[in-house]
Amino acid sequence: MKAPSWLGPRRAAALAERFGTPFYAYSSRLLRARSRALAKAFPSAAIRYAMKANANPAVLEAVRRAGLGVDTVSPWEVLLAREVGFRKKQIIYSGNMPSDDDLAAVHREGVMINLDALSSLRRYGRLAPGAKVSLRVNLDVGGGHHPHVITAGSESKFGLAPEELPEARAIAAEHKLRIVGLHQHIGSGIFELDLFLEALDPLLALLVDFPDLEFVDAGGGFGVPYRPDERPIDLEAWGRAITERFDAAARRYGRPLQLMLEPGRYVVCEAGVLVARVTTVKRTRDRVFVGTDSGMHHLIRPALYQSYHPVATYPLRERAAERLFFTGPICESGDLLAEERAMPLPEEGDLVVVGNAGAYGFAMASHYNLRARPAEVMVDGDDWRLVRAREGYRDVVRRRDVKRAK
């Protein structure tokens, strides 16, 4: 991987010196650029950044300042979004399998609730008769970079099937819920505009059956290139095609309708890297392992989806390339950050920079093996600031003194 322009070897070394490793670093300029590109490509749409991709408050703040709203999946995501200053109207909650407590907590916050099971709708109706609600549908057209992230079809737990919609309307009527939104999200990591449109058409065909709609949410899932052979999507072309289809449907509908989109990865993925330090170089009979102080507990995507993340090592070592396996300290053979990379072997103490780590990186990090989650740093031009401190022993090990039974 080419070093990112905003985090070259000298800057990375300075931050590593200052904060220790590992850490995530984000470029606020790139965050702004991606947010603005979305707003420009979809000038009439309401863009709701899917904060599950990265909920660091500084990231949320940058996105908010760029004029985007947020898509949330849990009560605490809603609370944090409010704390960061998003207005109620800029927040949508699309929870899956919500508990009664979840529904009550989100309802208390007064944000739009998007539901995708008859049971949730019934329970929400009892809790909040007369409220506005949105329905998530599952129209069988899906896609994504891995089976785990495809969210359509009858084997998926997401969305209401078309045959359930009459009953959904009946439940809504019984509780005087007003169905003001229709939503779908077909999966994550989609590169084909045609697939997105193929899913959009049947969604738009449903409008006639819902007389009170205020918005249609076509979800997120916009792909971002990770591998050297992948190309970025043509966002402007996506904007034109999706807006055109939507506008035609809205005209047929005859009442004002807002197009909504909820990309997560597109906003933050390329704006983030994970920086680790090489602790241990180890050769086995078949492999050369570059052991680092980060691993699957900080970036689980390679282990979970066999995702490719570009990798660079600093400083550049002038030696012949070998096939390297980048790993961490976790007690699993699947603890890999990158596999089979033809690169010069770094030395112990060198830095490893893992690219495309802004989305679903820190957000999916864990304490597995009682390891701390890394620090997070926001880089803005020549400035940088710590936006989350590295955890310590007490953050990871919350002990409660239990009285011993007599």
Q: How far apart are CA 197 and CA 64, in angstroms?
A: 28
| Measured distance between the N- and C-terminal CA atoms of the chain, rounded to whole angstroms | 61
Contacting ligand LLP (CB under 6 A), which of 264, 291, 355, 358?
264
Q: How far apart are CA 35 and CA 41, in angstroms?
A: 10
Contacting ligand LLP (CB under 6 A), which of 77, 102, 164, 262?
262
Q: How far apart are CA 24 and CA 41, in angstroms?
A: 29
CB 381, min distance to ligand LLP, A:
26
Q: How far apart are CA 72 and CA 95, in angstroms?
A: 7
Q: Where are the beta strands (DSSP E) in 17-85?
A: 23-27, 46-50, 69-72
Site string for ligand LLP, 318-357 (x = CB under 6 A): ----------------------------------------
**Residues whose CB is less than 8 angstroms from the CB of residue 252 and which lie 6 or more positions away in sequence, other chains included:** 207
Cβ atoms of residues 213 and 179 within 8 Å: yes
- Is 222 an interacting residue with respect to ligand LLP (CB under 6 A)? yes
Please name every residue paired with 187 in a beta bridge, in sequence order, or none if there are none.
150
Q: How far apart are CA 211 and CA 173, in angstroms?
A: 12
Contacting ligand LLP (CB under 6 A), which of 4, 220, 328, 346?
220
- Is 270 an interacting residue with respect to ligand LLP (CB under 6 A)? no
Q: How far apart are CA 99 and CA 107, in angstroms?
A: 12
Number of chain residues interacting with ligand LLP (CB under 6 A): 20
Site string for ligand LLP, 135-154 (x = CB under 6 A): --------------x-----
Of the candidates 320, 331, 370, 405, the residue annotated as catalytic is 331
- Is 53 an interacting residue with respect to ligand LLP (CB under 6 A)? yes
CB 18, min distance to ligand LLP, A:
29
Active site residue 269: no
- Is 55 an interacting residue with respect to ligand LLP (CB under 6 A)? no
Cβ atoms of residues 167 and 118 within 8 Å: yes
Site string for ligand LLP, 102-141 (x = CB under 6 A): ----------------------------------------
Can you give the binding site for ligand LLP, defined by CB under 6 A?
50, 52-53, 71, 94, 149, 185, 188-189, 219-222, 262-266, 301, 360
Positions annotated as catalytic residues are 331
